[in-house]
Amino acid sequence: MAKSDHKRLSSKHKIDRRLGVNLWGRPKSPLNLRDYAPGQHGQRRKKPTDFGVQLMAKQKLKGYYGNIGEKQFKKYYVDAVKKKGDTGANLVGILESRLDAVLYRMKLAPTVFACRQLINHGHVLVNDKRCNIPSRMLTVNDKIQLKEKARTIPAVMEAISSPERDVPDYIEADHSKFSGGLIRVPLPDEIPYPVQMETNLVIEYYSR
């Protein structure tokens, strides 16, 4: 394993351990071996306050989508509030419409972080034009495709053939053409989270 790959893996495992959950449902997560936080005091867990529970719910949701920065994540919350309907459903709908999230759901890379790297390196086309912005918001029927030279990257081949995840119903993915997109914005109960996401607590955190 390359040094950079090992570093990224360690970083993801650190997020898992800090939050106390196997966030992406990966078999190599350290949470499969121990279910406490890192550090010498990791096993001494105090009962969290309401604020602590809300903060943990927010960190879990942010972390799942690739550790999105606080400023951007709060903007998504503000956008979700402005939309009609349930704020929590709106928030996860926005998160699932990000280019890196849709690429992940299409199974064209093994992790959200790997999807972000593919996009940053210019390997992804949106409507036949190169896009290097992982946070780009997609609309229904936007066409996503991997460029030719990215199709033989081992991580891409591994993700497509992996039995760990399925492509959800709200995503179109043609692995023979390395293309697809968002069919519709999903409802919260359609999103295949490996752990329970408490969006109501995230909303409570920001509306304090």
| Per-residue pLDDT tens over the stretch 43-82 | 555 667 889 999 999 999 999 999 999 999 999 999 999 9
The fourth-level CATH superfamily of domain 98-184 is RNA-binding S4 domain (3.10.290.10)
CA distance 109 to 126: 16
Of the candidates 190, 118, 159, the residue with the CA atom closest to the CA atom of residue 126:
118
Name which CATH class applies to 3-37+48-95+192-206. mainly alpha
What is d(CA 148, CA 87) in angstroms, rounded to the nearest whole number? 39
pTM greater than 0.85 (yes/no):
no
Domain ranges, ordered by start, for the chain? 3-37+48-95+192-206, 98-184
The tokens 């460029």 sit on which residue? 147
Report the alpha-carbon distance of residue 177 to residue 157 in Å, rounded: 13
3-37+48-95+192-206 and 98-184: same fold? no
**b/e sequence 52-68, b meaning 16+ C-beta within 10 Å:** eebebbbbbbbbbbbeb
pLDDT digit string, tens, across residues 142-187: 999 999 999 999 999 999 999 989 999 999 999 999 999 999 999 9
